[in-house]
Amino acid sequence: MVHAEIGVIGGSGFYSFLQEVTELQVETPYGLPSDSLYVGELAGRQVAFLPRHGRGHHLPPHRINYRANLWALRSLGVRQVLGPCAVGGLRPEYGPGTLLVPDQLVDRTKSRAQTFFDGHPLPDGTIPNVVHTTFADPYCPVGRDAALAAARGRDWEPVDGGTMVVVEGPRFSTRAESQWHAAMGWSVVGMTGHPEAVLARELGLCYTSMALVTDLDAGVETGEGVSHSEVLKVFGENVGRLRAVLFDTVAALPRTEDRACLCTRAHEGWDLGIELP
One of 167, 203, 206, 220 touching Zn ion (CB under 5 A): 206
Under the binding rule (CB under 5 A), the answer on residue 198 touching Zn ion is: no
Distance CA 144, CA 222 (A): 32
Give the amino acid at 120: H
d(CA 241, CA 155): 10
Query: At a CB cut-off of 8 Å and minimum separation 6, what does 183 contact?
Result: none
Q: Residue 158 to residues 166, 174, 250: CA-CA distances in angstroms?
A: 20, 27, 17
- 188 sits near Zn ion (criterion: CB under 5 A): no
Catalytic residue among 35, 103, 118, 215: 215
Let me know if 160 is a catalytic residue.
no
Q: 152 labelled as ligand-binding? A: no
- Phi, psi (deg, nearest 5) at residue 89: -80, 140
Q: Between residues 24 and 261, which has the closer beta carbon with respect to Zn ion?
A: 261
Q: Does 252 bind Zn ion (CB under 5 A)?
A: no
Binder to Zn ion among 140, 165, 246, 266 (CB under 5 A)?
A: 140
Q: What is the DSSP letter of 75?
A: H
8 Å CB contact between 61 and 171: no
Torsional sign, CA 186, 191, 197, 199: positive
Sites for Zn ion among residues 70-89 (CB under 5 A): none
137 is catalytic: no
Asked whether residue 82 is marked as a ligand-binding residue, the answer is: no
Which stretch, 149-157, 162-170, 171-179, 202-210, contacts Zn ion (CB under 5 A)? Answer: 202-210
SS3 251: helix
Kindly name the residue from 217, 248, 258, 271 that is annotated as catalytic.
217
Closest approach of Cβ 262 to Zn ion, in Å? Answer: 7
Residue 189's DSSP bridge partners are 88, 165
Nearest approach, Cβ of 80 to Zn ion (angstroms)? 7
Is 228 marked within a binding site?
no
Binding-site residue numbers are 12, 52-53, 191-192, 215-217
Give the residues lining the site for Zn ion (CB under 5 A): 140, 206, 261, 263
Binding-site residue numbers for substrate are 191, 215-217
Active site residue ranges: 215, 217
